Chains A and B, each alone.
Chain A
Amino acid sequence: MPWDDATGKSKGFMFVEFRHVDDANLAITALNGHPFDAKHTFRVNHFTDIERYAGMDEAYVELELEDYVPREHLRAWLADPQSRDQYVTYRGEEVLINWHGKPSQSLVLNATQDWKDFLYVAWSPLGTYIATLHRQGVRLWGGSSWKPQQRFAHPMVKLIDFSPCEQYLVTWSNEPIVVPEGALQGPQYFSPDDEGNNIAVWDIKSGDLLRTFSTFNDNDAPSSKKQMQWPALKWSPDDKFVARITPGQMISVHELPGMYLHGKKSLKIEGVVDFEWCPQGDKDKEDLEKDAKAMASGPAARTSKKARENMLVYWTPEVANQPARVTLLGFPSRTILRQKNLFNVTECKLYWQNQGDFLCVKVDRHTKTKKSIFCNLEIFRMREKDYPVEVVELKDTVLDFSWEPKGERFAIVSSSDPNLGNPGPGVTTKTDVSFHQLEHGKNDFKLLRTLPGRTSNAIRWSPRGRHVVLATVGSSSKSELEFWDLDFNSDDANRREGQNTDWGSGIQLLGTADHYGVTDVEWDPSGRYLATSASAWTHTLENGFAIWDFRGQELIKQIQDKFKQFIWRPRPISLLTKEKQRQVRRNLREYSRAFDEDDAAEESNVSAELIALRKRLVDEWNAWRTLHKKELGEQKSLKSQSAREEKEEIEVWVDEVIEQIEEEVVE
């Protein structure tokens, strides 16, 4: 560094020349901001920067404030007077937002010039946004005219996951983040610190990047490529925490919005394989609100009952002398609430009922010889003291398990088929479907009914419970849909009281249907309709979708080439109070009359429109034909005239005559 002899100090700056611009850039990234000591920091700039800073215009220019443009209401679709649902379809290169029962009002999402080529689309959990994945990143759309709302520049993004309250978004790409030289910098972009990671957490409202993670484990052998779990980050139901598992070692819980490690240390659990957060029921939400109110009104007014703490459940396999274990943990208190030891375990799967009332741990157990596998269902009752556990033992392998939403029933698909586990072309495994229900007096889950000899492999409960659809999905030869009602005898109003009737007698088959090559089955959020779709991602036969009512009557069927995706738009939780909802249910007749009238009016409207359209089409066609007929007539008469002059022959086949003239020329 040049020395100033006069002061006896270094001049504090120097100029360095590099041979190449890249070398200069490297020097800047390596040395800029280097702390010499507590007071001195080393700064490195481009020479051109110095010039720019020196030549800066120092006059203050007042920033022009942009006028406030009110944004469209993001939940405008809920205000539809007929409370219809929306769905998105992705076909070919086109993403369409449709109204169910209003086919004319579809809207296309306009891909912008540089953000085209959709990978796939996804709704946010409450239906506020729709996310489209592109090569450049994720884009969110919303509002009644579907304008782009937010974007997250995560190149080559492959998977995304929303937090339950739609505040945050997690994106994943199989390619590690690279920050190229001269990339845009700012809170919404990756910084050099993020390089090499491949999971990013974003704030949806601001679009800011919160934090990035890597899924690559340093001490993993590079050859052992394990299937990645997705979602890789699991959110607590209130969006306060997000947890990440390092298999076999620990669960790290981060606190939002700062994304700091909670308590500055992870939960060290040796051998941990999988975990799940307990979902929040409607009741918990109310409790939380009450709590918040109580806190606001001061500690004196605190109610005795406190809202339930967040809970998570994890399981560890047998290690050394320790048995396998399922543990229920309160968070953030980190207290162990319940622990259950299990023996001869090969695999556990955790299934929460959506209100957080029950937890089912599906335990695949092997016999002493490890030759055959059977299944236990360990069911935790979460609303009772000390979380009692009840075991349902089954002899067969359970393929799918599903809780009734908001209910006390579950359905399982089990199979004793020897072909199980080695699927071949044309092989359909025979399965049994059975329903179980909680018996209140005895507090155990009793079998309601078994439906033997099915091929169904998917259970789809209606989001309101009661109705269930059994489907055979992904098979090339079978594609049956069965629509079941589990409370056929009792009306909705007194369904809880209607249990003194025969056990399991309310189960009734409402209808069967068939959708060839079905790959996806989904209920609409109101539980009125079911959509089935055959996606071109799986096969190319008869792609398209169909919409059925809950009885299995086909309402719409569209076979479309290159059809890829169908998703219903989710609905947020109703804002009506319990009391109001009850009132609505009581006066259902009156409401339904109004809706029926609307439907009838709509129908006549549609048919009138259709007739008008047809009339227009016919008119257009006829006009086109008349024009042609006239032209044709003129041509003919012209030809015959010219023919008459030259040949004095009045013939209809005048063309022939002209040809002869040409031939004469040739000859």
Chain B
Amino acid sequence: MSLYYVQKLIYELNRDPNAAKRFEEDMDGLLEEYDLTEEELVAIRKPDIGLLYVLGVNGQILMHYSALCKMPWDDYIQAMKDGIEEHGPVRAGLYARTGGGAV
């Protein structure tokens, strides 16, 4: 269920400015409240959008998070491609790469 908590954390950050503020000011304290693996913690702290995508974070949650991180659109798309290159195919969820992207 670890992926569940990665997604839940990002969901909270995306929708709640207070959670995002706490993430900035007390990241360790906030992360302690979620059941996360070492790999997930690395991905969250960086943040590594490509690895989070490969871990299977729902794409809609991840897209909003990339926006919260002020990541330009093209960089966000490229980060997912790089994540697959580095870490292999998406491991869980609906948001696997199918090929044929146009932009």
Please indicate whether A and B come from the same complex rather than being unrelated chains: no
